[in-house]
Amino acid sequence: MSIEFGAMEAPHPYVELSRAQWRELRENTPLTLTAAELEELRGVDDPIDLAEVTDIYLPLTRLLNLHFTGARLRSAAVNTFLGDDQPPPPYILGIAGSVAVGKSTTARLLHTLLARWPEHPRVDLITTDSFLYPNKVLEERGISHRKGFPESYDRRALVRFVADVKAGVEEVRAPVYSHLEYDIVPEASQTVRRPDILVIEGLNVLQPAPPAALAVNDYFDFSIYVDARVEDIRSWYVDRFHKLRRTAFADPKSYFSYIAELSDEDATRFARQVWRDVNELNLVENIAPTRGRAGLILYKGPDHSVRRVRLRRT
C-alpha cells in the first residue's frame, strides 16, 4: 500500500494521515481485546469502542512493535561493538496530554495491547501522579492551587526513577497516589521489575529540563501526545465531573465528597471555574507547548474519536 501526502507550505518533521490512511496501516495486526475488557479499561465519560481500537490502536501497536524491535537491534549493535552481553534496556513509552483528553485510557489500552504481543509480554504502567508532592508539601510551598503544574511534581525523583528503570536496575520503586484521597499514600509503593516496556503517562512528561539537567523524556524511546480542541476538552471535563459526582465523589472517604452534595447548577459552575483557573491554564501554559516534542500526535474530534494522526519521521 502506498500513501500520498499533500505538499506542505514549509519543511515539516511530521507526516499527517487521515483516519482512513492510518487504519490501512494496521495490516494483519490481530484484535486481542474484547468489548468487556475495553469497558474496564476506558475512563469515565470516554466512549471509545472496538472500532476505535481497530482503526487507531492496532496500527499504533504495530508501529510501536516495529519501533521496539528497532531499539532492540540498536542495543545489540552497541553490545557487539563493546564485546558485551548486557540485556537490552527497557523500552520506555511516554504519553502526554491535557486533563480529560483521554490519555489515561490511551495508556491503559496500550499497556494491555502491547503486553499481548509475543515480543514484549512484560509491560508496566506508571502515572506521574505518583510523583506529585504530598498535599502537606504543596501547602507548605503555597502551591496547592497549582496541583498538576510542573512545580507540583518531584521532578528529580521522577527522573531518577526512569533513569534507574532504563539502566536495568532489578527493582525500582515508585510512590502510590490515591485519587480517592487526592494525595500520596504514606509508606506505600509500587515496584517495577525490569519490564520489556514501561508506559509512563502524565500531563507534563514532555516538559524540557532546566539547564544542565535531564528531563524524564530524555529517557523515552517514543512519545505520544493526545490532542483535541480546548473547547472540546472543556466540555469533556465538565461532563466527567458530573459523572464523578454520582460515583467516586459520592464515597464518604473521597476527598471531594462535599461536591456530591452540590446542585447540578452549582456543580457545573464549580467545574467550569476549576477548568478555567487550573486545568486550561496549565494546558495553555505548560502542556500544549510540548506537543511538538512528541513522536506521534493523536487528534480527537468532538466525539472523542481520533480524526487524524501526525507521525514524526525524524
Could you list the residues known to form a binding site for ATP, using ranges: 97-104
End-to-end CA distance of the chain: 22
Per the annotation, where are the binding residues? 97-104
Can you tell me which residue has the cell 477548568? 275
Block residue for cell numbers 498538576: 148
Burial of 246 per CB tally in 10 Å (0-12, 13-18, 19+): exposed
Sheet strands side by side (includes 14-18): 14-18, 306-312, 296-300, 222-227, 91-97, 197-201, 123-127
Q: What whole-number distance in Å separates Cα of residue 193 and Cα of residue 190?
A: 10
Distance CA 187, CA 262 (A): 34
Q: Give dist(CA 60, CA 124) in Å, integer.
A: 18
Show Cβ contacts of residue 121 under 8 Å, excluding neighbours closer than 6 positions. Answer: 115, 196
Judge contact between 224 and 217, C-beta under 8 A. Answer: no
